[in-house]
Structure 1
Amino acid sequence: MSTRGSGRAWAALLGVVTGAVAIGVAQLAAGLLEPRAFPVLAVGDAVVDATPAPVKDWAIATFGVYDKIVLITGILLILAAIAAALGVLAARRLLYGYLGLAVFAVIGVVAALSRPDADPLYPFPTLAGIAAAALALRILIPRAAPRPPAVRHEPRPAGGSPEPTGTRDERHAHVAPDDPAPAVRHERAAAGGGVNRRGVLVGAVAGLGVAGVSGALGRALAGRLEVGAARSEVALPRAAVPAKALPAGADLRVPGLSPFVTPNQSFYRIDTALIVPQVAPGEWRLRVHGLVDRPLELTYADLLRRPMTEADVTLACVSNEVGGDLIGNARWLGAPLADLLREAGVRPGADMLLSTSADGWTCGTPVETVLDGRNALLAVAMNGEALPVRHGFPVRQVVPGLYGYVSATKWVVDIKVTRFAEDQAYWTPRGWAERAPIKTQSRIDVPRHDAKVKAGRVAVAGVAWAQHRGVDAVEVRIDGGEWRVARLAETPGPDTWRQWTLDWDAAPGRHRIEVRATDVTGHTQPQRRTKPAPDGAEGWHTITVDVTP
């Protein structure tokens, strides 16, 4: 590699190290001030907000619950590439590097201030990181500059003879006949103009050390705000209205079939929060205001003192594709939201609850669905324990029969009673429907798509759902033949999914299996598949399997 090419490579490396210093120091500053002001997260949140709905749908369908990890990883890789380029430019002229950092400062500050809950401190982590990067650039980049060529002094011939005559090139090419190692001397002279690799490596290690230590301290300081310990100390109240005992036949226990109750650790999580809000129970407040006669404000203790209702409810994400797994069933404990609204006194004409999360996300829920008698809750517990932090601790909304983006606000801190004509929630201006009742759907869990099964008796099984209506029938057909009625599991009510199973005498070959459900209103899910936008996917779930002799 030429000296120039080698210098560029080392400058790129030091540029990446400079970027790491910026991120580490910014994380330290965010840990001291506000973890959500960390610029990588602020930019990530801004990207989420600005991303068109079709792209979000693709990301959720492709990466599922890992979409946030993919986004943050992508941002970090892009930052690393840009930092490397800035290192190369700064090696030419340091001013270029400073100008690049200034652009990053503007982007980070704008992204931080664009957050709904931003305060004047939000830009400081970005500015601290950029200042540290500028200092690192000033210290590190000169190390990538080639050293001046070594000056070689030829010894005078013995006896004090005058220096050889001839052109400059001829003189430099002159080698005394008794020179013991002309080739070695030439290599040393050439190497004298290269990069001080040792200096570069020492600088890179030192920069990475600063980045690592500051980043670790930042994460540790942010951890002081975690509410896991407070959550473990919550004493859940007894339910004034307990849920019905699960029927003995609610879970068919077919191997591979989704259990009737989804464990908390397996429950899907789809939201826009790149960092999970940490809301301490002692600091939580819920404000109910807007088109009400008596605005309310509740503390967590106030909420726990209210009569509690326990209910089995299946939640589903509107982004769930046909046959997808963005759905889960749990037993929730919470205060009835309808009671709270009646206490506040909803004024005539109000038709929407605009609920707001602790991180600024908003959700629009039709008022009539909360007041029609269904178990709409301000939930404080999930499957017998305080809400997991990632699922909304200390309080979240649960409204059966509606997709999550119009019903299931996590970390809820504000409810404004308003009108759809006057306010819009987060997803509505992005192309999603204002009101989104869950569509009747069914899914095949076993056998899996493209599975290989042995010929003979095979259990085909899955789940079906039509929340707040209930599933009345599930039918299965093989290779386009006659529809066969599946056996349904018992269910505690209309707000949960329902397991189903069918025994199939499988013959060798490749087979297509289709399923459809009918709800209690008589509506059967249509065959034609549609995408999730704007109000939920529908269509028959279809798989193929290979049956071996």
Structure 2
Amino acid sequence: MRRIGTAVRHPFRVLRSVLPGAAIGLITAALAVGVGELAAVWSGPNTAPAIAVGSAAIDLTPTPLKEFAVRNFGTSDKLVLLTGIYTTLGAIAVAAGILAMRRPVVGLVLVALFGFVGAWAALSRPAARFGDVWPSVLAALAGVGAMALLVGSAQAARMPVPASGDDELEAKRSDAEALEPKDPEAKDPEAIQPSLASHLPPWARDRRGFIALAAGTAGAAALTGLTGRTMVNQRYNVALKRSRVRIPAPSRLAPALPADVHPNVAGLSSFMTSNSDFYRVDTALVLPQVDPDAWTLRIRGLVDRPLELSFADLLARPLVEHDQTLSCVSNEVGGPYVGTARWIGASLADLLREAGVRRGADQLVGRSVDGMTIGTPVESVLDGRTGLLAVAMNGEPLPVAHGFPCRMLVPGFFGYASATKWLVDLELTTFADYDPYWVRRGWSRLGPVKTASRIDVPKPFAHVAAGPVTAAGVAWATHRGIDAVEVRCDAGPWRLAALTPSDSPDTWRQWTCELDLAAGLHRLEVRATDASGAVQPEARADTFPDGATGWHSVVITAD
């Protein structure tokens, strides 16, 4: 129990006094979110208030916290963020509803602030339009209206009101008095706020009317939310158009994979990573749905002849098939954010030569449809490596999650410096004149892939039979290639692993090493040497600002 002045407040009475306000706040928030979802049918999925706020939150999140999210939640980081946003919104809504029962203006202002924050977040996006604010504005108006009606009905029905610190009279009211039926037409100035209740119909001025009004508002919230989300998914889903895309046969095929490019070792990663298993790390809370029929790519900036291509124009160009391992700068030592795929696309270097790169242009900035910017050295695009405007991945049109209808790929760089997804714009500029998205957040201006290796088999903490044991894994140094992989056990001498034949310098190589382990606990370590002779360093470094370093190790038990 809690004492207020000379009165004793029972916990049940305190809880009962805040429940109506908490319910009003949650119902109001649900309706606001639902109306915002419905309005986003016309302005686009990224303009729904929660999505807009989440996208702005990603941009404002400090780099260490972003890395923590990627490291601990992986591809579920966006789900965790949205869950946090909705949980925070729910908590604020509960507080607003409770406050509104005593101070209606305060509650209504909090609801209006929800709309203001959503509108600001929508306008903060790089590709924002003024119309993007409407889902948040309409959501706030719906929320303010719903809260005014529900609070007015609750007060007219003499629902319990939360006590303030000096409200001794309220503290002394008995449960029986609080539950006593009241005349809905009564004009008790301490219980009724005429500005909120005077326009309510008679049926909404008692407890039954309040419950009916609350239930109806909750139903409207569910209806608008589900309808809005369903219509957004239908209107902006490009799955059908993607299924109709036919990728022309490449004019230049990738070499056939060597027959023994993948050792037959259970648990070893596939040489080619399937589209469904390929990692995804980006900032898009909602996958951009880009209509290939309306898609265009501009090539502009420091060029002699600006170009604009449609998707049909891009498919009509000579296409190149190329195998490439792609890795993320957020990949920790031994981490999963690396994969190999067979890509098909138009030559990026050929397009830049057609546009005519002007002297002094040293940075190629790719822009995504959602405003993401990624910068790549121009000299690396034009030095003979196979940079692509990719339209296909592993024999099918790019999955939406991996950039449909077009993404950029330049071997030798981490994805944050070479692999713009949902690409719509290429600008030739200079590093001195423009900092792309990740550079503005402290990451290295250049992002060359570091020499790395990983033990796939045995798994960490595995139990294996004592005696002969096969260790296996992958190593990569994209565009340089791997020349050697070494393995050691319990800090003993390094042993050369058996490497599979190289597909190309742009793909990883798989390795195996036969060990003879005595019973007990063992620590296995691996290191790679790339084709330039550089050995993977032992010193551990974090992923920020230019990629992790260190030897991968696993601890296992031989029984």
Using the size of structure 1 for normalisation, the TM-score is: 0.90
Question: Could you tell me which of 191, 203, 206 is aligned with 2:216?
Answer: 206
Tell me the secondary structure at the aligned position of residue 380 of structure 1: strand
1:193–1:500 distance in 2 versus 1, CA, 3 Å: farther
Following the alignment from structure 2 to structure 1, what is the Cα–Cα distance between the partners of residues 58 and 389?
27
Following the alignment from structure 1 to structure 2, what is the Cα–Cα distance between the partners of residues 145 and 498?
72
The residue that corresponds to 1:140 in the other structure is 150
Q: Is 1:474 aligned to 2:485, yes or no?
A: yes
* Per-residue CA distance 1:138-171 (angstroms, 9 max, x = gap): 222345449559xxxxxxxxxxxxxxxxxxxxxx
Conserved? CA contact 2:112–2:141, under 8 Å: no
Following the alignment from structure 1 to structure 2, what is the Cα–Cα distance between the partners of residues 413 and 245?
32
The residue that corresponds to 1:152 in the other structure is none
The equivalences for 1:8-157 within 5 A come to 8-145=18-155
Partner AA of 2:101 in structure 1: A
The residue that corresponds to 2:180 in the other structure is 192
Q: Is 1:361 aligned to 2:372, yes or no?
A: yes
Partner AA of 1:89 in structure 2: L
Q: CA deviation at 1:68?
A: 0.8
The residue that corresponds to 2:318 in the other structure is 307
Q: CA deviation at 1:501?
A: 1.1
Q: CA deviation at 1:204?
A: 4.1
The residue that corresponds to 1:340 in the other structure is 351
* Per-residue CA distance 1:226-255 (angstroms, 9 max, x = gap): 111000001111100000111111111311
The residue that corresponds to 2:226 in the other structure is 216
Range 202-211 or range 222-231, more displaced: 202-211
The residue that corresponds to 1:421 in the other structure is 432
The equivalences for 1:202-351 within 5 A come to 202-223=212-233, 224-351=235-362
Following the alignment from structure 2 to structure 1, what is the Cα–Cα distance between the partners of residues 462 and 310?
52
Q: Please tell me the root mean square deviation across aligned C-alpha atoms, in Å.
A: 1.8
Conserved? CA contact 2:13–2:175, under 8 Å: no
Range 519-528 or range 211-220, more displaced: 211-220
Instruction: Please identify the structure whose Cα radius of gyration is greater.
Output: 1
Unpaired runs of 5+ residues, structure 1, are 150-185
Question: Could you tell me which of 529, 533, 536 is aligned with 1:518?
Answer: 529
Range 193-202 or range 402-411, more displaced: 193-202
Partner AA of 1:467 in structure 2: T
* Per-residue CA distance 1:263-314 (angstroms, 9 max, x = gap): 0011001111111111111100000011111110000000000000000001
Unpaired runs of 5+ residues, structure 2, are 1-10, 160-173, 183-204
Following the alignment from structure 1 to structure 2, what is the Cα–Cα distance between the partners of residues 460 and 189?
76
Following the alignment from structure 1 to structure 2, what is the Cα–Cα distance between the partners of residues 205 and 324?
49
Following the alignment from structure 2 to structure 1, what is the Cα–Cα distance between the partners of residues 36 and 387?
41
Q: CA deviation at 1:543?
A: 1.3
Conserved? CA contact 1:459–1:504, under 8 Å: yes
Partner AA of 2:441 in structure 1: R
Q: CA deviation at 1:369?
A: 1.0
1:201–1:529 distance in 2 versus 1, CA, 3 Å: farther
Q: CA deviation at 1:57?
A: 1.1
Range 197-206 or range 419-428, more displaced: 197-206
Following the alignment from structure 1 to structure 2, what is the Cα–Cα distance between the partners of residues 187 and 11?
18
Conserved? CA contact 2:253–2:321, under 8 Å: yes
Conserved? CA contact 1:31–1:220, under 8 Å: no
Tell me the secondary structure at the aligned position of residue 276 of structure 1: coil
Q: CA deviation at 1:329?
A: 0.5
Q: CA deviation at 1:522?
A: 0.7
Question: Could you tell me which of 532, 538, 543 is aligned with 1:527?
Answer: 538
Question: Could you tell me which of 490, 495, 501 is aligned with 1:490?
Answer: 501
Range 70-79 or range 3-12, more displaced: 3-12
Q: CA deviation at 1:384?
A: 0.1
Tell me the secondary structure at the aligned position of residue 289 of structure 2: coil
Q: CA deviation at 1:326?
A: 0.6
* Per-residue CA distance 1:76-95 (angstroms, 9 max, x = gap): 10000110000100111211
Question: Could you tell me which of 443, 451, 460 is aligned with 1:440?
Answer: 451
Following the alignment from structure 1 to structure 2, what is the Cα–Cα distance between the partners of residues 17 and 295?
53
Partner AA of 2:526 in structure 1: V
Conserved? CA contact 1:474–1:488, under 8 Å: yes
Tell me the secondary structure at the aligned position of residue 367 of structure 2: strand
Conserved? CA contact 1:146–1:193, under 8 Å: no
Tell me the secondary structure at the aligned position of residue 141 of structure 2: helix
Q: CA deviation at 1:196?
A: 7.4
Range 246-255 or range 139-148, more displaced: 139-148
Tell me the secondary structure at the aligned position of residue 101 of structure 1: helix
The residue that corresponds to 1:167 in the other structure is none
Partner AA of 2:494 in structure 1: W
The residue that corresponds to 1:460 in the other structure is 471
Partner AA of 1:512 in structure 2: R
Range 446-455 or range 303-312, more displaced: 446-455
Following the alignment from structure 2 to structure 1, what is the Cα–Cα distance between the partners of residues 362 and 22?
57
Paired positions, count: 512
Range 391-400 or range 209-218, more displaced: 209-218
Following the alignment from structure 1 to structure 2, what is the Cα–Cα distance between the partners of residues 449 and 206?
54
Tell me the secondary structure at the aligned position of residue 535 of structure 1: coil
* Per-residue CA distance 1:323-375 (angstroms, 9 max, x = gap): 10011100000000000000001011111001100000000010011111111
Q: Is 1:395 aligned to 2:406, yes or no?
A: yes
The residue that corresponds to 1:154 in the other structure is none
Following the alignment from structure 1 to structure 2, what is the Cα–Cα distance between the partners of residues 98 and 222?
29
The residue that corresponds to 2:516 in the other structure is 505
Name the % identity.
51
Following the alignment from structure 2 to structure 1, what is the Cα–Cα distance between the partners of residues 214 and 474?
55
Q: CA deviation at 1:211?
A: 1.6
Conserved? CA contact 1:323–1:443, under 8 Å: yes
Using the size of structure 2 for normalisation, the TM-score is: 0.89
